[in-house]
């Protein structure tokens, strides 16, 4: 695919790949994936709908949500161009490999491991973790420590399941909240950007059935804390 000029790219979403079935791109931090109660226009979903309609108000073209990223999280997102493609990707989501970079406070005792719990969301949109199988949906997060500094640790995370706020809740539950996470961690006047980035995704293409992989570069503020060959 030819590189799409920046002026045609939806603001806050750099398109990395587009074909007849898919649009794959890098979401900027601070941009919503889909509409929320407080915002329904400045979302990746809405901007991509406008993009595929190419300014034609009568067009019914639209894109379909396959998965989501938290507003403060940056990185790879996939959108489908048809409902059939959306269903195929969701039906095969267990075979999709989702890799994240996360910077957390402190040093984990175990340098690699798996965090497993059941997650529920309350009326204030806060997600809670429990060991009770009757209380929530199973969430599994695998992690490996890549590098440590005096105060922080860089982790590579494999998201086995994809539940809302999963990585943030799991790591906070281990006593190592993400840097910049005021929702589940601690407020900071110096580190306001959430250090969570969806860096790579590998999946089976719905048409060719070939495995495909795409990467999105980390935001600059990751390197301001930990220099690494991301």
Catalytic machinery residues: 70
Which residue's entry shows tokens 């965090």?
Answer: 115
Strands 127-130 and 22-27: unpaired
Q: Which helix (H) or strand (E) holds 137?
A: strand 137-148
Collapsing DSSP states into helix, strand and coil, what is residue 169? helix
Q: Which helix (H) or strand (E) holds 146?
A: strand 137-148
d(CA 109, CA 157): 16
d(CA 149, CA 225): 9
Neighbouring C-beta atoms of residue 74, cutoff 10 Å: 28
Separation in Å, CA 43 to CA 19, 37, 51, 65, 159: 21, 12, 12, 12, 23
Which residue in 218, 163, 202 sits closest to 17, CA to CA?
A: 202
- DSSP secondary structure of 175-221: T-PBTT-TTTS---SS--S--EEEEEEEEE-TTT--EEEEE-PPPHH
Separation in Å, CA 68 to CA 32, 65, 74, 76, 91: 9, 8, 11, 9, 16
């Amino acid at each position: 695919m030819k590189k799409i000029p920046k002026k045609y790219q939806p603001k806050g979403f750099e398109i990395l790949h587009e074909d007849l079935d898919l649009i794959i791109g890098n979401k900027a931090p601070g941009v919503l994936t889909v509409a929320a109660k407080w915002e329904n226009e400045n979302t990746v979903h809405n901007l991509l709908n406008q993009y595929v309609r190419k300014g034609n108000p009568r067009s019914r073209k639209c894109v379909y949500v396959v998965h989501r990223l938290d507003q403060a999280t940056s990185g790879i997102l996939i959108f489908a161009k048809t409902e059939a493609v959306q269903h195929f990707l969701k039906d095969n989501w267990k075979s999709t490999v989702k890799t994240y970079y996360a910077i957390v406070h402190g040093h984990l005792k175990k340098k690699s491991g798996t965090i497993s719990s059941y997650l529920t969301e309350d009326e204030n949109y806060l997600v809670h973790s429990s060991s009770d199988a009757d209380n929530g949906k199973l969430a599994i997060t695998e992690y490996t420590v890549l590098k440590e500094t005096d105060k922080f640790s860089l982790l590579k995370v494999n998201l086995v399941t994809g539940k809302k706020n999963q990585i943030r809740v799991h790591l906070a539950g281990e006593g190592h909240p993400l840097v910049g996470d005021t929702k589940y961690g601690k407020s900071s006047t110096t580190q306001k950007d959430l250090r969570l980035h969806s860096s790579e995704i590998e999946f089976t293409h719905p048409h060719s059935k070939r495995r495909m992989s795409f990467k999105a570069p980390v935001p600059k503020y990751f390197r301001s804390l930990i220099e690494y060959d991301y």
